[in-house]
């Protein structure tokens, strides 16, 4: 069993803004909640799409749908809706959807020349 992110409260906050739900024109997603969980698993683990666990569906289908939603501008709205509910772990920027649980550790650059000169 893989940990899930979307509590019922978070799902209620995000479900109405997602494409592919009942009542939307065109094809409907089979299970938007499962799809989101799969995408969040990728964001959380940093794993390649091909490593998506089978319980989330076919990796290529999930990958393709993720990028379709990206082109339609869905991800910033999803992240915003989840953040309003206190789910602060997700970020979306030009690099895509990212999981950012903790503040990033600053990178300290060591100046090798200065170290050699001081020695």
Residue-wise pLDDT tens digits, 8-46:
999 999 999 998 766 655 555 678 999 999 999 999 999
Mean pLDDT of 76-93: 87
The reply to whether 1 falls in a domain is no
**Residue appearing with tokens 């990212």:** 98
- pTM confidence score: 0.76
The reply to whether 96 falls in a domain is yes
CB-CB contact of 97 with 90 (8 Å) = yes
The reply to whether 110 falls in a domain is no
Number of structural domains in the chain: 1
Rounded CA gap, 46 and 112, in Å? 32
The reply to whether 30 falls in a domain is yes
The reply to whether 41 falls in a domain is yes
H-helix or E-strand spanning residue 90: strand 90-93
- What average pLDDT does the chain have? 80
The reply to whether 32 falls in a domain is yes
DSSP state of 96: E
Is residue 104 scored above 60 in pLDDT? no
Q: Which domain holds residue 48?
A: 8-100
């Amino acid at each position: 069993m893989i940990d899930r992110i979307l509590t019922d409260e978070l799902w209620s906050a995000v479900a109405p803004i997602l494409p592919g739900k009942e009542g939307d024109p065109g094809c409907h997603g089979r299970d938007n909640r499962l799809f989101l969980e799969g995408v969040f698993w990728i964001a959380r683990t940093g794993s390649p799409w091909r490593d998506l666990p089978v319980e989330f569906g076919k990796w290529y289908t999930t990958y393709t749908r993720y990028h379709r939603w990206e082109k339609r501008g869905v991800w910033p709205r999803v992240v915003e809706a989840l953040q309003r509910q206190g789910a602060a772990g997700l970020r979306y920027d030009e690099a895509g959807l990212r999981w950012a649980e903790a503040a990033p550790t600053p990178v300290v650059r060591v100046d090798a020349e200065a170290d050699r000169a001081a020695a």
